[in-house]
Amino acid sequence: MSKLYLVPTPIGNLGDITLRALDVLRSADLILAEDTRTTKILLAHYDIKAPLQSHHKFNEHKSVDSVCDKIESGTIVALVSDAGTPGISDPGFLIARRCLERGIEIETLPGATAFIPALVSSGLPCDRFCFEGFLPQKKGRQKRLSEIMSEERTMVFYESPFRVVKTLEQLSEALGPDRKAAVSRELTKKFEEIIRGSLASVSEHFRANQPRGEFVIVVEGARNKTKKEPEDE
């Protein structure tokens, strides 16, 4: 039966793809890829020869209905992003919503996403957290920073190497330099690194060491000042 498959791909180490994901990609009539050049490397590694079609944030608004038409005509379509799970700070939401509107079945596979290992490795509470993705680059950035000042859950952000120092400095200014944080980069890759400490100290680290790779920033939530500490017995 034709449907849309949302298929997570490795965030770095190609060995992290699941057997089920490989089966789906091998059986797909068409693979939608955020960047076909990146996806070709993965497919070549596993000797998968399914046809590729570009599907990214600059063309997805125009292509979603034609993709839905193909699925309705019997085409099995798999959507992948460059790394991680489609829809998590990557294309995927629009086509998933359009498929549901048109009564097309969607099957989402579990798999790699960068923020989970970063969160679990941070040493910060992960029983309750909020995923913020990328902060707005310009418009709305200060508003978002002010909104999270009172957030009590652990917060998770994505950032590029070009803006990570600026983002850490702004988080330090908004939330306080002593707020605990963990910054992960190049997860699952050869140069994987996790820097833990205060927002002030991790900011200083990346001012002194040129940021490279993709980053996940995990920040401690605000403490609830109205919550009473447990009394000693």
Residue found by looking up tokens 């359009």 in the block? 98
Q: Is the pLDDT at 1 greater than 80, yes or no?
A: no
Domain boundary among 108, 134, 150: 108
Query: What pLDDT score was predicted for residue 55?
Result: 94
Boundary (domain end) residue, out of 43, 78, 108: 108
121 and 73 both lie in a single domain: no
What domain range includes position 148? 115-219
> Does residue 86 sit in the same domain as residue 143?
no
**129/152 Cα distance (integer angstroms):** 9
Does residue 66 lie within any of the structural domains?
Answer: yes
pLDDT surpassing 90 at residue 232: no
CA 165 from centroid of its chain's CA atoms: 19
Backbone angles phi, psi at 186, to 5 degrees: 55, 40
Please state the domain count of the chain: 2
Q: Which of 108, 143, 165 is the last residue of a domain?
A: 108
Can you tell me the mean pLDDT for 71-77? Answer: 96
pTM of this structure: 0.90
Of the candidates 45, 9, 13, 18, the one whose C-alpha atom is nearest the C-alpha of residue 188 is 13
Task: Tell whether 53 and 148 lie within a shared domain.
Answer: no
Same domain, 123 and 138: yes
Confidence of residue 76 (pLDDT cuts 50, 70, 90): very high
Residue 225: pLDDT band with limits 50, 70, 90: low
For residue 227, being part of any structural domain is answered with no
Name the β-bridge partners of 30: 77
Same domain membership, residue 120 and residue 101 = no
Same domain? 95 vs 48:
yes
DSSP states of the chain: ---EEE--B-SS-GGGS-HHHHHHHHH-SEEEESSHHHHHHHHHHTT----EEE--TTTHHHHHHHHHHHHHTT--EEEE-SSB-TTSSSS-HHHHHHHHHTT--EEE-----THHHHHHHTSS--SSEEEEESPPSSTTHHHHHHHTTT--SEEEEEE-TTTHHHHHHHHHHHH-TTSEEEEEESTTSTT-EEEEEEHHHHHHHHHHS---S-EEEEEPPPP-TTSPPPPP-
Q: How far apart are CA 77 and CA 64, in angstroms?
A: 12
CATH number at residue 136: 3.30.950.10
How many Å apart are CA 149 and CA 210, to the nearest integer?
Answer: 28
For the segment 106-139, what is each residue's pLDDT rounded down to a tens digit?
999 999 999 999 999 999 999 999 999 999 988 8
Q: What is the pLDDT of residues 11-59, one digit of tens each?
A: 999 999 999 999 999 999 999 999 999 999 999 999 999 999 999 989 9
